[in-house]
Structure 1
Amino acid sequence: MRTSAQNAELALLLEVAGTPKPGNVDRHRDLDDLRFEHFLAGAVGARDGLELAADGAAVGPAFERAVSGMAAQQGGNTQFGSLLLLVPLVRAAREELSQPVVESVVRETTVGDAASFYRAFEHVDVAVDDPPEDMAALDVRRGTDAIPALEERGLTLLEIMDRSVPGDDVAREWVRGFERSFAAAERLADADGPVADRTAAVFLSLLAERPDTLVATRHDEDTARDVTDRAAALLEDDALETDRDAVESFADDLVARGINPGTTADVTAAGLFVALEHGAIAP
């Protein structure tokens, strides 16, 4: 029987193995500077931090360790957002992997957890929006240099996440009880076929229902909306069945244009973990 840390690592591996996932690295597609092998190495490297969370460590230090290990490959940021979702979920699984329990886990985060989160930005480059003027001192891209301002304001990690909504849908999961992560798990359980195929189908369904915030950050909101509209058009009668060739073409087009719906992949990875922990899928 796998441990929660092992299931989290497996979720990262299954997420990148699913294909086609339009715009993202998968087992059939690399990006110019980010390859399938980088994601495999990132998942393995994150294991120590995931085990810390499974052993009951605080969310912030466990996340920082996971990111540090993830970054020990040549591609840079592969799974920062996924780990930000997985670490509190793994921590919650010590008691019960449910939305109320994971909400309790994130409510209990501290200023120290927030400081660890900021230190994690020292390991990789993460695409984020410019903060409002009154939050400039707390720009996460400042990393460790922002910690004194963080401590002066006494902000917990959950409060930092709350200030990142609506521009960041990983932060939104923290604030909204990981609702899309648990919904993704249900879709994975209800889908048919190999887990890698279910993963690709659920990724597309998530992309079709909400514009990806990483696409909005790197490009603009109109581009993110267009990607979501195109994904929705590929779904047949709101089901997970699609025209495989059309999805493949969509995936190739997004890769060629450098459009990467990475936040949707993060939620998919979180959904995979929940489904694995609940025994709803069995690779």
Structure 2
Amino acid sequence: MTAPRARTPAENAQLALLLDVAGTPKPGNVDRERDLADLRFEHFLAGAVGSGEGLRRAESGAPVGAAFERAVAGMGRQRGGNTQFGCLLLLVPLVRAAAEGSLSPDGATAVAEATTVADAVDFYRAFEHVDVAVEDPPEDAAELDVRRGRDAAPTLRSRELTLYDVMERSEGDGNAREWTGGFARTFDAAESMLGDDGPVPDRVARAFVDLLSEEEDTLVRTNHGPEVAAEARRRAAEARGDPAAVAELAEAFVEEEINPGTTADVVCAATFVALERGMPV
């Protein structure tokens, strides 16, 4: 039997998007056994397919912001809306680092720090393709509200803010902390997945609960407030390691509309890193 051709970084990124939504149970997330009121499993499958052009652009050396904007535009070509915006925000610089042969915390940081003002403008433009849940900015930063989309471009240019600068100004966001912190949780979770065994979707689900039990989720905090975010983390920690308890928590979170989406973003990015490092599929 001929050995299979190695997947490219862009292909592994799309596979990570698919494996992420296939993992179950992931309390509060859409997975292959659970839909939400306005998001279904097939929306995530379509989003993964649609993101391909942007991920291939990242792999081929296109500017990070332009590749991200294109990936989000493609992801949004389904009826569910925002399925994987945060995943793509983490995947695009990681795909670039992998394509350059430097998929490591230092390599990913180098990609992030090299972003430009034009990348920041394209990042803001990406918010025009789908609705993204974000916290309101401070009163003195209203001109930099990401929901302004391309209208924020003059401010970004006049202040000479790169995409990395924008992430530094978003310290309360879990994905922004990955960008400015060497993608620490991403690489740690990837190592955990590589050290785990069994089907990859099961590893994804276990990694999700592990991460949620360790840190409050940004999206839960944005949608429900800090007390609910803290309680969700506590409940995940209590269920961790008990498959029946995790499955029960998954049903409860769906009923309560608690969706730890930022945690899923990091798990998706970690799945990509693990695939690039040889996790078998």
TM-score above 0.5, yes or no:
yes
Q: Secondary structure at the match of 1:155?
A: coil
Match of 1:238 in 2: none
CA distance in 2, matches of 1:206, 1:170: 13
Alignment of 1:1-283 (within 5 A): 1-95=6-100, 96-166=102-172, 168-235=173-240, 242-279=241-278, 281-283=279-281
Match of 2:3 in 1: none
| TM-score (ref. length: structure 2) | 0.97
CA distance in 2, matches of 1:74, 1:261: 21
Q: RMSD over aligned Cα, in angstroms? A: 0.6
State the shift of 1:245 in Å: 1.5
CA distance in 1, matches of 2:253, 2:55: 31
State the shift of 1:146 in Å: 1.1
Q: Which ranges in structure 2 are unaligned for 5 or more consecutive residues?
A: 1-5
CA distance in 2, matches of 1:9, 1:207: 23
* Deviation >2 Å, runs of 4+: none
Percent identity reads 62
How many equivalent pairs are there? 275
Q: Which ranges in structure 1 are unaligned for 5 or more consecutive residues?
A: 236-241
Matched-pair contact (CA < 8 Å) for 2:109–2:182: yes
Q: Secondary structure at the match of 1:93?
A: helix
CA distance in 2, matches of 1:117, 1:171: 13
One-letter amino acid matched to 1:71: G
State the shift of 1:29 in Å: 0.2
Q: Secondary structure at the match of 2:74?
A: helix
Q: Secondary structure at the match of 2:99?
A: coil
CA distance in 1, matches of 2:96, 2:228: 35
| TM-score (ref. length: structure 1) | 0.96
Q: Secondary structure at the match of 2:169?
A: helix
